[in-house]
């Protein structure tokens, strides 16, 4: 049976990953979890939020489901998420943003794929400070830009997508984003059946909140991709609904777009839909598409009942009521 590394994580992580475990068990999904701990709560035992055995487990199984992990601010630790992406060379962050019929948000037909470059840009974390002058270095390479470009267009082709929009700020960052754009533009020429356009990030932000239906696949450098993903999550009803995947050449780590939400942890009210939708992406990745479809349909049906929805969706329920409702629609 396929083994999958499971990292519950911090904050609401254990509550929402438990929902995935319970539902997969109910559905008898043919995978075996290998549960490992990472995050703020393991620092006292391991001296690091990301113990070596966690990386080893993902390298062995080549696939993981990860709850959100908190990086302690200003304690000298690098972000666990960034370290994982670097060490496993998870170069693409794939974030589908799709409207759900039952959720009353301002837009009904959003169906976007945001592809975020995952390994460089400001996330290299190269910074200097001399007295009161801080410098943050933004790295963009042709190699990483081409890698994300090929990934984006191949994904678009495989999934029958019609248009790719490259997001940038090359009018100001002439060298960095100029290089990123040049790489993506060259690759676009190999895919004549896919429309290609470029948008400056500030204009893209406005376009997305006015006409999100006009966009299909968006490819962006790391920081712009991160910001646009949260913005886009807001278009479909919030962070509690937006899934994601970090993809490498032969390893994939699935996780929700949201963070550990410490403000609502341990209250039983976290929305499990984002991590469940991430687990659907995981099922598809493992070619367990029948299970993926079944779960997707059960989620869609359950969201019509306001009494079971979590408070972030203006519902009167909690994590457990939503889980039970989803289970009631399975088989």
Binding site for ligand ATP (CB under 6 A): 12, 68, 239-240, 258-261, 263-264, 270-271, 274, 312
Give 61 or 71: the residue with its C-beta nearer to ligand ATP.
71
Query: What is the rounded CA–CA span in Å between residue 276 and residue 243?
Result: 8
* Residue matched to tokens 């908190």: 70
Give 99 or 271: the residue with its C-beta nearer to ligand ATP.
271
Select the residue whose beta carbon is closest to ligand ATP and give its number: 259
- The answer to whether the beta carbons of residues 23 and 327 sit under 8 Å apart is yes
- The answer to whether the beta carbons of residues 255 and 296 sit under 8 Å apart is no
How far apart are CB 223 and ligand ATP at their closest, in Å?
13
Per-position b or e across 176-195, b if 16+ CB within 10 A of its CB: bbebbbebbeebbeebeebe
Query: What is the rounded CA–CA span in Å between residue 203 and residue 206?
Result: 5
Give 79 or 141: the residue with its C-beta nearer to ligand ATP.
79
* Residue matched to tokens 């630790």: 77
Give 10 or 86: the residue with its C-beta nearer to ligand ATP.
10
Give one DSSP letter per residue of 163-190, joined into a string.
Answer: EEEEEE-TTTSTTHHHHHHHHHHHHHTT
How far apart are CB 278 and ligand ATP at their closest, in Å?
11
- The answer to whether the beta carbons of residues 258 and 236 sit under 8 Å apart is no
How far apart are CB 180 and ligand ATP at their closest, in Å?
23
Give 212 or 238: the residue with its C-beta nearer to ligand ATP.
238
Contacts of 305 (CB under 8 A, 6+ apart): 325
How far apart are CB 326 and ligand ATP at their closest, in Å?
15
How far apart are CB 49 and ligand ATP at their closest, in Å?
13
How far apart are CB 8 and ligand ATP at their closest, in Å?
14
Give 86 or 312: the residue with its C-beta nearer to ligand ATP.
312
Contacts of 202 (CB under 8 A, 6+ apart): 169
């Amino acid at each position: 049976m396929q083994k999958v590394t499971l990292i519950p994580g911090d904050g609401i992580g254990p509550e929402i990953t438990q929902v995935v475990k319970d539902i997969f068990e109910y559905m008898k999904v043919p995978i075996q979890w290998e549960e490992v701990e990472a995050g703020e709560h393991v620092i006292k035992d391991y001296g690091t939020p990301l113990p070596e055995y966690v990386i080893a487990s993902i390298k062995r199984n080549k696939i993981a489901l990860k709850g959100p992990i908190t990086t302690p601010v200003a304690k000298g630790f690098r972000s666990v998420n960034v370290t994982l992406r670097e060490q496993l060379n998870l170069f693409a962050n794939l974030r589908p943003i799709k409207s759900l019929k039952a959720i009353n948000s301002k837009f009904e037909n959003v169906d976007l794929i945001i592809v975020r470059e995952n390994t460089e840009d400001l996330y290299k974390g190269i910074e200097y400070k001399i007295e009161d002058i801080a410098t943050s270095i933004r790295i963009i390479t042709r190699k990483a830009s081409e890698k994300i470009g090929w990934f984006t267009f191949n994904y678009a082709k495989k999934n029958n997508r019609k248009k790719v929009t490259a997001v940038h700020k090359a009018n100001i960052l002439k060298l960095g984003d100029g290089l990123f754009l040049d790489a993506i533009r060259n690759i676009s020429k190999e895919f004549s059946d896919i429309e290609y356009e470029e948008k400056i990030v500030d204009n893209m932000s406005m376009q997305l909140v006015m006409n999100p239906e006009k966009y299909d696949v968006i490819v962006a450098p790391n920081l712009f991709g991160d910001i646009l993903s949260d913005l886009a999550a807001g278009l479909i009803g919030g962070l509690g609904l937006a899934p994601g995947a970090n993809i490498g050449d032969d390893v994939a780590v699935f996780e929700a777009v949201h963070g550990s939400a410490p403000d609502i942890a341990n209250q039983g009210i976290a929305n499990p839909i984002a991590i469940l939708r991430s687990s659907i992406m995981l099922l598809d990745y493992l070619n367990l598409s029948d299970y993926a479809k079944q779960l997707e349909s059960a989620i869609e049906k359950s969201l019509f009942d306001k009494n079971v929805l979590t408070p972030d969706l203006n519902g009167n329920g909690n994590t457990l009521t939503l889980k039970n409702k989803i289970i009631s629609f399975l088989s």
